[in-house]
Structure 1
Amino acid sequence: MNEEQKYKKATYHLWTFTASKMIAMLGSHVMAFGISLYILAMTGSAMSFATNMICSVLPRALVAPLAGYVADNFSKKRTILLAQAGTILTVGGLLLYTETVGLSVYAVYTATVFNTICSAFSGVTFSSAIATLVNPERLQRAMSFNQLSTSVAMIGGPVIGGMMYGFFEMDAFLMVNMVAYAIAFCLEATMNFNLYSTRGEDVKKEKMWEGLKGGFHYIKQQKVIKTIMWVALWINLFFSAIAVGGTYIIIELLKVKSTHFGFIEASGAAGMLAASLYFATRSEVKAPLRFSKISLLLLAGSVGLAVIPLITNFSYVAIIIFYLIIYFIFSIFEMGINMPIGVYMQKNITEEYRGRVFGLMETMAMSMMPIGMMVYGMLYDTLPAIVILPVTSAIIITLSLVLLRASILKEAHPEFYERKIVTESVTN
């Protein structure tokens, strides 16, 4: 295949995986919306709802390293298609159970666990495959489109689910999910996951334990990648202050109506969509880690500002407008952190280890979420929010300055800083 043919195929990949991801995620969000309402309507228990959330997070965190090993040692295309098929079969099994026995909470928990495991394998494998699907010059655009599809699904899923809930039974939500994943399966079956692969045909497969140890050893040897993983770990821990505190402050302390809070959360998805479009249309960031550091510092500052309505006499309308803007900004800065780092990792992690690195990173990041939620849940019960958020903001700023210090940035982008020194010397 010559370069022109590869470029055309990469263009096809760019649009095909965006469409497949958007359709699959849309089906997933519609079903998740329906299941959430079903659990609350049937049990009236927040604990039952929380249990289903745990079933959708914990299994993924546990199996992500294994998914990374599989992505690095077996066919990426086959792994993704098997995972998608697993999702279709799981939801189909839940639909059959519902039609014959009746839907139960425990059946939902079981299906959620299996869906989460399948999602871990397809998600980690897809993340490790983006650099082999498109040419290096379009990596940022590909990742932006990937995030754009997620943003559209986050906005559209609850809207479609809300319209369906009043007119259809639970089995309709399950069928929407199955159809969406079936379409995604057909689209992904047409893709060449080795288009820009640099691996040879005769790469020896590692045994599972050796492969996992190899992934840890590779990360240990890569100073910049190791730093990025530590940043991801601490970000997911400390930004639980907003995941937990945002809802608590807006609804419990400021007494904002749940319908208006829905608009506030939607503004976050809109911010993600706007940032995705920005990165899809601009040239690639020259110094990704430097860009991410600036975005992280701005996001940390925004966290501290989120307490302003608690210490001022804002009107009800002003409170809503303030948090609409804050949540929009949060998402933009979050994308400013994730997108450049994601492109950097795609380009600088050796293909043989890419799946394991993404898998281990996902495990580290996701394992911090429940810990952070538990810690901040206790903190908000004992300390005022006007203390928690500014202190958290200061901690994140300090961590950003320490972890992403100048020596790390220079090691990650030596050519950028050398060019900058040359330019300054010429100017002077």
Structure 2
Amino acid sequence: MVADMISNRQSVIQIIRAASSDIIGILSGGIFSFSLALMLLHTTHSAISFGLESIVYPIVGLLLVVPIGNFVDTHDHKTTILVSKLVTLVALLIYSAVIFRLHDRLAASIVIVAVYAINDRISGTGYTASVHELVNERHIKPLTTIEQAATSGVQLASPLLAALLYGLIGFRGVLWLEAIAEFVVILITLSMHFHPLPQAAPTQQTAGQWAAFKVGLRYIHDHAVLWFVVQIAVWLNLLFSSVDVGLAYVMVQTLKLGNTRLGWVSSACALGMLAGNLLLMRLPSFQHLIRTVLLLTLGFGSVFALMGAWLVHPLAANLVTGGLVLLSMAMGLFLAWINTPISVYLQTTVPTHLLGRVSVTLTTLNTLAMPVGTLLFSWLFQRLLGGPLFIAVGLVLIGLVGFFWYRNRKIVHQVVAPQPSGEANA
């Protein structure tokens, strides 16, 4: 395999560059997104301002899941990533030049969010599919873990920085800052050394879009561990939407605790994810993936139930906030321990020429689950008490653990060790 030719030193350098690119891109993107929402809120006075991305991203993901998966798996990954970044930069510059001259800023903003959604999906899938071109096998877990930790850490800071910068330099200044950051990310990507693997077989490249994409779907369905991962991930994303909707509604509308306390609780989840990923760097790889994920999901569901129990009885504001901060950190910890090992498993076992289609399918399903969950729990929290509803969600998660354990009983104790994923199992 080509990845075996990549030295440890080269892998470490690639990890540093990838982490730097992630930190700059995610931080600037988070600042841009938050500032865009603030600008729209002030100009349109519409509540949709802060929900624009949650609507556009799933629609784009669903419409383009087939062509993006096929394209990434059959084209040079570095070129694909660079072109998507350049398109984003050009679109951002055009948006910056016209947005302050337009009367209907919402329409133009929907277009730029759609452009970001398309190119984020392309570049993200491209990076996932090219992991074996960047580092050798023993550095896949450190690369994934460090990137996840960087993402979690940046998510802690981006909303606060966005609010600060929006007040200091305005939306126009944020646009220029985002353009500079995108240019720096392009330079970092140019400096990264991709070691291309052999392209997919000609039959895959010449087949129809749907026929080619079905190869990835069939691979997921035919591999029990992957099929389990897809199902459990969709359920987790669907039910975790209750936190995004429920905590905000309960803390601000029901308990009248204010936005500041909500911000502390929300940031605690990102802090927990950061701590969880840092701990994973010191822990050995999970050998029994299904059993481990199910046990972690059991803990995750228990935290939901505890959160509901904490909200059932009226407590002092500081006590409620402190308890929710601790429980939110625990949620983030469990999420990191579930998500990162699953990502490592995908990148170390799925054949490279299918990795784009498999990863974009999983990402799209998870993305679609979140708005469905948002709509469902928005309706439920307006009609039911928050505490009992969180307890119910926790019990559903615990019940799902029992269901999946029984359904996968033949492989739940199976040792799932990383293996070379080049063209094996193709």
Contact 1:69–1:356 under 8 Å retained in 2: yes
Deviation at 1:52, TM superposition (A): 4.7
Deviation at 1:98, TM superposition (A): 2.8
Residue matched to 1:426: none
Residue matched to 2:410: 407
Residue matched to 2:18: 17
Q: Deviations over 1:65-113 (max 9, x none)?
A: 4222112111111111111111111111110113554781221111111
Distance of 1:29 and 1:386 partners within structure 2: 31
Residue matched to 1:266: 267
Structure 1 gap ranges (5+): 416-428
- Is the alpha carbon distance of 1:3 and 1:234 closer, same or farther for their aligned partners in structure 2, counting shifts above 3 Å? closer
* Number of residue pairs the alignment of both structures matches: 413
Deviation at 1:40, TM superposition (A): 1.5
Structure 2 residue 166 is the aligned partner of structure 1 residue 176: no
Distance of 1:402 and 1:250 partners within structure 2: 32
Structure 2 gap ranges (5+): 419-426
Residue matched to 1:419: none
Residue matched to 2:189: 188
Deviation at 1:288, TM superposition (A): 2.9
Deviation at 1:190, TM superposition (A): 2.1
Residue identity matched to 1:364: L
For the residue of structure 1 that corresponds to 2:179, the secondary structure is helix
Residue matched to 1:330: 331
Contact 2:225–2:290 under 8 Å retained in 1: no
Structure 2 residue 358 is the aligned partner of structure 1 residue 357: yes
Contact 1:86–1:115 under 8 Å retained in 2: no
Residue matched to 1:297: 298
Residue matched to 1:278: 279
Distance of 2:9 and 2:410 partners within structure 1: 40
For the residue of structure 1 that corresponds to 2:192, the secondary structure is coil
TM (norm. structure 2) is 0.91
Deviation at 1:414, TM superposition (A): 8.4
Deviation at 1:227, TM superposition (A): 1.3
User: How many percent identity over aligned positions?
Assistant: 21
Distance of 2:200 and 2:351 partners within structure 1: 16
- Is the alpha carbon distance of 1:93 and 1:103 closer, same or farther for their aligned partners in structure 2, counting shifts above 3 Å? farther
- Is the alpha carbon distance of 1:54 and 1:202 closer, same or farther for their aligned partners in structure 2, counting shifts above 3 Å? closer
Structure 2 residue 51 is the aligned partner of structure 1 residue 50: yes
Deviates more, 1:218-227 or 1:129-138: 129-138
Deviation at 1:167, TM superposition (A): 1.8
TM (norm. structure 1) is 0.90
Deviates more, 1:221-230 or 1:48-57: 48-57
Residue matched to 1:390: 391
CA RMSD of aligned residues (A): 2.3
Residue matched to 1:33: 34
Residue matched to 1:374: 375
Residue matched to 1:421: none
Distance of 1:381 and 1:137 partners within structure 2: 49
Deviates more, 1:128-137 or 1:291-300: 128-137
Residues 84-95 of structure 1: pairs in structure 2 closer than 5 A: 84-95=85-96
Residues 172-321 of structure 1: pairs in structure 2 closer than 5 A: 172-194=173-195, 197=197, 199=198, 205-207=205-207, 208-321=209-322
Contact 1:22–1:149 under 8 Å retained in 2: yes
Deviation at 1:206, TM superposition (A): 4.1
- Is the alpha carbon distance of 1:100 and 1:225 closer, same or farther for their aligned partners in structure 2, counting shifts above 3 Å? same
For the residue of structure 1 that corresponds to 2:410, the secondary structure is helix
Distance of 1:200 and 1:44 partners within structure 2: 50
Residue identity matched to 1:133: L
For the residue of structure 1 that corresponds to 2:284, the secondary structure is coil
Contact 1:291–1:336 under 8 Å retained in 2: no
- Is the alpha carbon distance of 1:312 and 1:154 closer, same or farther for their aligned partners in structure 2, counting shifts above 3 Å? same
Deviates more, 1:240-249 or 1:381-390: 381-390
Residue identity matched to 1:368: A
Structure 2 residue 64 is the aligned partner of structure 1 residue 77: no
- Is the alpha carbon distance of 1:73 and 1:3 closer, same or farther for their aligned partners in structure 2, counting shifts above 3 Å? closer
- Is the alpha carbon distance of 1:97 and 1:244 closer, same or farther for their aligned partners in structure 2, counting shifts above 3 Å? same
Structure 2 residue 130 is the aligned partner of structure 1 residue 129: yes
For the residue of structure 2 that corresponds to 1:286, the secondary structure is coil
Deviation at 1:280, TM superposition (A): 2.2
Deviates more, 1:241-250 or 1:404-413: 404-413
Deviates more, 1:17-26 or 1:7-16: 7-16
Distance of 1:335 and 1:206 partners within structure 2: 39
Contact 2:62–2:364 under 8 Å retained in 1: yes
Deviation at 1:322, TM superposition (A): 0.7
Contact 2:54–2:371 under 8 Å retained in 1: no
Residue matched to 2:424: none
Residue identity matched to 1:283: P
